[in-house]
Amino acid sequence: MPAIAEIRSTVALGPDPRGCDLPTCPVCADTMVAAEASAYLNDNVISYLWTCDTCGYGFVTKHSVKRFACN
């Protein structure tokens, strides 16, 4: 079954997502637990592919991450 995908850009403002912060499918509102795939794009940007298990809708999120300096 082919999935329809779109790119949705987000900026991570806080710590890792918790249960209430996980993405939901914009088509059927089902909560998604884990991304299907991830990719490191460029300077501190990570892309995640999400696919809904219920309806098959897919979308991509992009997150900027901060670099940590070790002392």
CATH number of the structural domain spanning residue 56 = 2.20.25
Enclosing domain of residue 50: 5-13+22-64
Helices (H) and strands (E) in the chain, counts: 0, 4
Domain count, the chain: 1
Does this model's pTM top 0.75? My answer is no
Residue 12: which residues within 8 A CB-CB, separation 6 or more? 63, 64, 65
Residue 49 class from Cβ within 10 Å (0-12 exposed, 13-18 middle, 19+ buried)? middle
Residue 69 falls inside a structural domain: no
Per-residue pLDDT, 57: 93
pLDDT in tens, 37-65: 999 888 788 999 999 999 999 999 888 88
Tokens 């309806």 belong to residue: 55
Residue 54 falls inside a structural domain: yes
Q: What is the edge-to-edge ordering of all strands in the sheet holding 5-9?
A: 5-9, 58-64, 45-51, 37-42
